[in-house]
Structure 1
């Protein structure tokens, strides 16, 4: 078969590589000059930068890990146990917050444990804000869960559903929380991504480049039209493809292909947010991620690139990190401490680079299921046009699950 893959992010590249290895003729179209989508890396003054947020590799799916390591061998990766912290009331508290109550001031810890023991009474709420209080108790929700989620989603939590977060955020039991307090043991248990792999050299771009090696990829390619003519698909009026795999964000599709008004309206109903990251020089640290729930600061998280690989900063006595701010209105200035972007305690030195990403997080608002299910049902009507990836299926999935979806799709094709 002759297949066109639209978009050279992790999903598109994975599918293209798998299909090529099965003997199909595959052409990949990418609008950017560099492949990788959100999983891109670059160097700034010798410092490593994942400009669209940190991307790390781990998976409970052995077939995914085996596939990646067959392309980019395991010896090229550093294996790391996550050392995530939460900046709370001027101190560093271990992540996850609810398993680290022993690190809080005594009165705050007592309030959190008391409220958590009394939590999960009555019917389970159907909105995310009330669910956080119902599930964790008022104190944990007020101290951390609600303010952090208000920052990362920048969307009314009461207008979001609840089913999406299972498997995406820690959900320890009451017994686990009580045990962590009694034993004064904040260690993570059964937490997603509690350990992971990251390339020793070149950032996550190294894995991306390895997957894309040998593929027919057209970069700097702007897709203007996707049409089916006489049973074959063409892109910008060229090519005769048996099948299309699209990783294009759904809101972009109505501009490049004809869709029924009903489907266009469903797409218009989708919600998402944007992200700005800022690379900065900082003291060396073994913290991998720092979460900042307080609304006193614009930044909600810092990812320390220098904790992922020892080769992130040419000065091995220093570190480098990338702060993250949600929304479209954030303006990067040279004074990100005094303008309350991030706490001064982080030892910010200077801005090295920054990047805006239009598409950052899928928002699971209460209309999510209706909109997404309706869109997918329409595209199921033509087996020659397939949606794949975070933004084409409108599902916030980590890299490993994107690769798994690519495996399943290529099997079906």
Structure 2
């Protein structure tokens, strides 16, 4: 544990999640400025970490998988986990549970499997939307909110059957209170001709989207990735533990105050704290008032370990969506399908806590095999949750949706609550960020990451990592932060300007000195 009292560093990084570790990797590669990571957790990973139950079941703190838009991100992960045996590669098999049938993902492309009356309802809605858009005096103004985008794009049938109820379950606010500039590649736009053809021929379409193929670590869950990445960094540059919690930031003095009384003086600060938490720590009334208007929902992650062979109807399913009100969760992940090491060995003997139908369990310890499910529930002022009984309610929902049978033996449960779960793209979010983030940067603070920059569209693990990388390049070289400012651009291409084997951004992104290294920011030399 490095001593932090009176420590001076060129760059201080708050948080050792993907964004903080991305910043640290880049600083190590540039090999110029001094730097330090602090994190209040005992281990790296942040919102991409993994927990292990006493019975030996692994559960990520959310439904994370690895897919990438960046060569640099791939390089860093392959350096940390270099062997083929370190990874499993999967083809995504995802469905939406609706009207007691499994609709292949994306829902809007596969309404052919719905009951006939719902197919007609969805088709009529799409036809109405198509005709409205083609009308001579069609309104060409952009949609005012996400709900309007849904109806214009997919029609009222799909909106009512899936998009409205599902998105409310995810975000905790109705789509009418969300903007739609964040969508990018995240929502499939239906093709009326293809959908009609599929209905007539009884066909389905899958494989859409950037995560149709994804990787998952063989051991340690998603958190194992970030522990391995942290393992490529000098140990003396990282400080973990509750004592490293930030209790105050003095932007004028360039000081961060920690819970255990220590102080760090910095030249530049990269913060991955939640933006509202950072503004509160700064004690700035104006920024605090603005940041309190940002909207987020709380996420509950519930895990269930089951003693049984994986049921045939579960098969190789990956993650599943649930728009209806017969379960509290919006998404379920068959977590044991990602890696056999996400469950205890079949030889492990465990007692039964209860059956999925609610019957009392047995204290007799028996061997497996085992499989596991992980579900996610959103909570907000508009969508309250019975936290005390949430595990029970989720198990009941798994039975209602035929994910579990009432007789299934549950041997392990997991529940973790994250106050900041999803940064909601609210109607005024962009205006607020345009007012907050530049004010912080003017004070030598780069607030980045899933909740640091509050942009869900740039909040996947690859995005988050590169937000840290690009923040460092901006600090040291003045390079543009493309992921933060132009997420649609990076999502639509292969980004190979940076590679781990090369120390610098491309010459069109940075100023290069005679030695072939970034020209350091003169402000850093003070420290």
State if a TM-score over 0.5 links the two structures.
yes
* TM-fit CA distance, 1:49: 0.7
Q: Residue deviations 1:165-212, cap 9 Å, x none?
A: 222222243344334434433232441311110001110111101111
> Relative to 1, partners in 2 of residues 1:235 and 1:347: Cα closer, same or farther, differing over 3 Å?
same
Q: Work out which of the residue numbers 41, 44, 49 in structure 1 matches 2:50.
A: 41
Matched with 1:136 is 154
Alignment of 1:6-405 (within 5 A): 6-23=14-31, 24-44=33-53, 45-50=55-60, 52-73=61-82, 75=84, 76-120=86-130, 121=132, 122-123=138-139, 124-213=142-231, 214-215=234-235, 216-220=237-241, 221-228=244-251, 232-236=254-258, 238-259=263-284, 261-282=285-306, 284=310, 285=314, 286-313=316-343, 314-315=345-346, 317-327=369-379, 329-333=385-389, 335-336=392-393, 340=397, 343=400, 345-347=402-404, 349-350=409-410, 352-382=413-443, 384-396=444-456, 397-405=459-467
Contact 1:169 1:192 in 2 (8 A): no
Contact 2:297 2:419 in 1 (8 A): yes
> Relative to 1, partners in 2 of residues 1:60 and 1:172: Cα closer, same or farther, differing over 3 Å?
farther
| RMSD, aligned α-carbons | 2.2
SS in 1 for 2:35: strand
* TM-fit CA distance, 1:262: 2.5
> Relative to 1, partners in 2 of residues 1:338 and 1:59: Cα closer, same or farther, differing over 3 Å?
closer
2-structure distance, mates of 1:358, 1:180: 42
Contact 1:299 1:342 in 2 (8 A): no
1-structure distance, mates of 2:395, 2:228: 42
Unaligned runs of 5+ in 1: none
2-structure distance, mates of 1:296, 1:55: 25
TM-score w.r.t. length of structure 2 = 0.73
* TM-fit CA distance, 1:57: 0.7
> Relative to 1, partners in 2 of residues 1:42 and 1:118: Cα closer, same or farther, differing over 3 Å?
same
How many pairs does the alignment contain?
409
Contact 1:299 1:341 in 2 (8 A): no
Unaligned runs of 5+ in 2: 1-8, 133-137, 347-367, 477-527
Q: Residue deviations 1:300-345, cap 9 Å, x none?
A: 1111111211222233743201111111633243633686576251
Q: Residue deviations 1:6-40, cap 9 Å, x none?
A: 01111111211221232232211111222211111
Contact 1:281 1:318 in 2 (8 A): yes
1-structure distance, mates of 2:240, 2:393: 34
SS in 2 for 1:269: coil
* TM-fit CA distance, 1:156: 2.8
Matched with 2:487 is none
> Relative to 1, partners in 2 of residues 1:386 and 1:370: Cα closer, same or farther, differing over 3 Å?
same
> Relative to 1, partners in 2 of residues 1:31 and 1:143: Cα closer, same or farther, differing over 3 Å?
same
Contact 1:279 1:323 in 2 (8 A): yes
> Relative to 1, partners in 2 of residues 1:175 and 1:344: Cα closer, same or farther, differing over 3 Å?
closer
Contact 1:337 1:343 in 2 (8 A): no
2-structure distance, mates of 1:174, 1:370: 35
1:407 to 2:428 alignment? no
Contact 2:328 2:393 in 1 (8 A): no
Matched with 2:11 is 3
TM-score w.r.t. length of structure 1 = 0.92
2-structure distance, mates of 1:258, 1:331: 32
Contact 1:3 1:27 in 2 (8 A): yes
* TM-fit CA distance, 1:346: 1.1
2-structure distance, mates of 1:293, 1:30: 36
